[in-house]
Structure 1
Amino acid sequence: MPASPTSSKGRTGVLLVNLGTPDSPSTSDVRRYLNEFLTDARVIDMPAALRYPLFQGLVVPLRAPKSAKIYQQLWDERGSPLLYHGLDLQKLVQETLGKDYLVAFGMRYQNPSIEAALQQLRDAAVDRIIVLPLFPQYAAASTGSVQEKVMDIVKDWWVVPSISFISTFVDDPGFIGTFATLGKAEMAKRDYDHVVFSYHGIPERHVLKGSHKGYCKLGSCCNSYNKNNRYCYRAQCFETSRQLATALGLGPEQYTTTFQSRLQSRLRDPWLQPYTDEVLKTLPGKGIKNVLAFSPAFVADCLETTIEVGEEFKEMFEQAGGAHWQLVPSLNSHPQWVQAVADMIRRN
């Protein structure tokens, strides 16, 4: 019998990417992080001649000391939660996928860098690369920025393997299921009057710039998730809310979808609405005293979840007359989430 041909197929490389974190909560490291983040043309979409002097010369120097104090509250004995949860996820997904895969982890801004993670995969001569930005809902300023950075790096490689991107997992059963599991655990501890799904905000113009043939009207067009708005950030957020509400057994009147973390005045530069901080202040007046809050735009604990939603919004809610505000923990490296990530990789 003729000898079987030797397979040349190598391992599949996997690149998990999250947004980024300062190397430490010191003002200098926070300034370095903000400089890289806020001068990304996909985050601040203004001409470079305006963007760099405005943010490097004015915004970042003013903001860095204040942000450093907040990061100091977030840091714990393991360091930055966004970093160590990402590394934990990388390790566990690697164990789940096995030897036919090589899983690397990088940050869009700062360390470990996307470039270093890609070099790890390149050195291992992987057969192909699957890139999974850890942002459930696609936005040009997050997933789009990661995709652009990856392609900018590999364009200089003489040999570029097949590369594919998982651009969104807004309605992935494992993603929805894990958040539902965590939510139900909190709901088992006490009764809640209402659920708030709070997503990171983006400028309305970012949504309109990406609208398919002018489909987006920033209104009822998000009542369904379809081929015309599958990459609309706002539509994806509302779809995630609907999916989570169904998994949690909530009716339409039992939850609200809101947007947080706007950077600029809505009068000069409107961001997606309704705004979380404004909505939560109205809830106690409606008899809603106990609220369960989710941050479904984030898969790992970070400043925007732990501090903003978990602490700052809690204080605002109580000052407005609320009794109890509870943040549902993020997915981090929950076993169900690890399996969901592995399943998404295998399907691709």
Structure 2
Amino acid sequence: MKSGATGKTGVLLVNLGTPDSPSVPHVRKYLREFLLDKRVLDIAAPSRYMLVNGVIAPFRAPKSAKIYAQLWTERGSPLLFHGLDLQKLVQEKLGKDYHVAFGMRYQSPSIEAALAELQEKVVDRIVVLPLFPQYASASTGSVQEKVMELVSKWEVIPDIRFISTFCNHPGFIGTFAEIARQHMSKRDYDHFVFSYHGLPERQILKASTKGYCQLGVCCNTYHSRNRYCYRAQCFETSRQLAKALNIPEDKYSVTFQSRLGKDPWLKPYTDFVLKDLAAAGIKSVLAFSPAFVADCLETTIEVGKEFKEEFEEAGGKHWQLVESLNTHPMWVDTVAEMVQEA
């Protein structure tokens, strides 16, 4: 891939973000930056500003801070230290012709600081990999917009390539399957749940090409017309994982978690499904959270702890979370491969 003066390729790995600490002020600051993003809370700016600053940040921050305190480790936020560890390992894998930087869409280390690092290295090209397997305007799209906004101010703009989705990449699927097999070797599971971060239905419909989206059977196959539909990608990831693990179609459910507000979000809701499963006599569930590649509040706490408690309270006996990819060697290899392919 060498060209130009240095031949060096810059790599920008980006994840969503995390508070600097589980304190209420830091959590409130994080929530404000996150929810004031027009791609995340896609309502009129005045309404967004009043809702976030007048309602969500003041009242949600104390509750969220308690949850983040459960997640925090001696190294801090898992989303942050797993990202930094991944950066180091991918750098070692790719070698001296690449320079790998890591940034967060919200809070620190910032995308701006990571890009400045690459600019300082005088790279010939930049490969941007938002660490979200399924494309959504509120995640990958927001990262892409921020990168373009910042780089547009540079005097010299290098070639830039975005990796927009890897929902069915063999390495991504293979790593999750490998982690899941470790649990499946120890126990037989009655059912499997693939739980994804939810989105408002309106965001899915807005992204639809010429009204193709039906929020239904249109996601039964994955092709050019729904390639960037978040819902279709979630179903595609689930199909590929089920295939890799030999899970029959009637033995798994695709669900959505983490909804906010009163507007309809993607269904079915994970917390509803797990209660239905328990009521139907399902006793043992292996749960995946394949919208995330690093353990975080939504995986460790929401799926791993809160859903486990709800399932058991509803009559279930065993709920096991499949850990995220974090810095699994197969995942490090996959990230390096995706960068080289780009």
Q: Which residue matches 1:255?
A: 252
Alignment partner of 2:226: what SS? coil
Q: Quick check: 1:16–1:133 contact (8 Å CA) kept in 2?
A: yes
Q: CA RMSD in A?
A: 0.9
- Out of 91, 114, 118, the residue aligned to residue 117 of structure 1 is 114
- Pairwise CA distance, 1:264: 1.4
- Out of 272, 283, 295, the residue aligned to residue 301 of structure 1 is 295
Q: Which residue matches 1:290?
A: 284
Unaligned 5+ residue runs, structure 1? Answer: 1-5
Q: Which residue matches 1:41?
A: 38
Is 1:95–2:89 an aligned residue pair? Answer: no
Q: Which residue matches 1:28?
A: 25
- Pairwise CA distance, 1:8: 2.3
Give the ranges of 4+ consecutive aligned residues of structure 1 lying more than 4 Å apart after TM superposition: none
Q: Determine the C-alpha separation between the residues in 2 that align with 1:40 and 1:219.
A: 28
Q: Determine the C-alpha separation between the residues in 2 that align with 1:51 and 1:147.
A: 21
Q: Which residue matches 2:58?
A: 61
Q: Quick check: 1:129–1:163 contact (8 Å CA) kept in 2?
A: yes
Q: Quick check: 2:125–2:159 contact (8 Å CA) kept in 1?
A: yes
Render the CA deviation track for 1:247-283: whole Å, top value 9, x for unaligned: 0001100100000000112xxx100000000000011
Q: Determine the C-alpha separation between the residues in 2 that align with 1:171 and 1:9.
A: 33
- Pairwise CA distance, 1:59: 1.2
Q: Quick check: 1:137–1:233 contact (8 Å CA) kept in 2?
A: yes
- Pairwise CA distance, 1:284: 1.6
Alignment partner of 1:131: what SS? strand
Q: Which residue matches 1:333?
A: 327
Q: 5 Å matches for 1:199-214?
A: 199-214=196-211
- Out of 265, 271, 290, the residue aligned to residue 271 of structure 1 is 265
Q: Determine the C-alpha separation between the residues in 2 that align with 1:111 and 1:59.
A: 21
Is 1:166–2:160 an aligned residue pair? Answer: no
Q: Determine the C-alpha separation between the residues in 1 that align with 2:4 and 2:23.
A: 51
Q: Which residue matches 2:224?
A: 227
Unaligned 5+ residue runs, structure 2? Answer: none
Alignment partner of 1:141: what SS? helix
Q: Quick check: 2:6–2:122 contact (8 Å CA) kept in 1?
A: no
User: Mean Cα displacement is larger for which, 7-16 or 154-163?
Assistant: 7-16
Give the letter for the 1:141 counterpart: A
Q: Quick check: 2:84–2:102 contact (8 Å CA) kept in 1?
A: yes
How many pairs does the alignment contain? 340
Q: Determine the C-alpha separation between the residues in 2 that align with 1:329 and 1:147.
A: 27
Q: Which residue matches 2:243?
A: 246
Q: Quick check: 1:115–1:153 contact (8 Å CA) kept in 2?
A: yes
Q: Quick check: 2:127–2:161 contact (8 Å CA) kept in 1?
A: yes
Q: Determine the C-alpha separation between the residues in 2 that align with 1:206 and 1:212.
A: 12
Give the letter for the 1:80 counterpart: S
Alignment partner of 1:287: what SS? coil
- Pairwise CA distance, 1:47: 1.1
Give the letter for the 2:252 counterpart: Y
Q: Determine the C-alpha separation between the residues in 2 that align with 1:285 and 1:218.
A: 26
Q: Determine the C-alpha separation between the residues in 2 that align with 1:279 and 1:58.
A: 29
Q: Determine the C-alpha separation between the residues in 1 that align with 2:44 and 2:327.
A: 39
- Pairwise CA distance, 1:186: 0.6
Render the CA deviation track for 1:292-337: whole Å, top value 9, x for unaligned: 0000000000000000000000000000000000000000000000
Alignment partner of 2:300: what SS? helix
- Out of 326, 338, 343, the residue aligned to residue 337 of structure 2 is 343
- Out of 191, 196, 215, the residue aligned to residue 194 of structure 1 is 191
- Pairwise CA distance, 1:189: 1.0
Alignment partner of 2:70: what SS? helix
Render the CA deviation track for 1:22-80: whole Å, top value 9, x for unaligned: 00000000011000001000000011111112111221100001100000000011100
Is 1:319–2:313 an aligned residue pair? Answer: yes
Q: Determine the C-alpha separation between the residues in 1 that align with 2:116 and 2:7.
A: 16
Is 1:151–2:148 an aligned residue pair? Answer: yes
Q: Determine the C-alpha separation between the residues in 1 that align with 2:292 and 2:302.
A: 13
- Pairwise CA distance, 1:9: 4.0
Q: Quick check: 2:20–2:26 contact (8 Å CA) kept in 1?
A: yes
Q: Determine the C-alpha separation between the residues in 2 that align with 1:139 and 1:7.
A: 34
- Out of 274, 283, 286, the residue aligned to residue 280 of structure 1 is 274
Q: Which residue matches 1:3?
A: none
Give the letter for the 1:45 counterpart: D
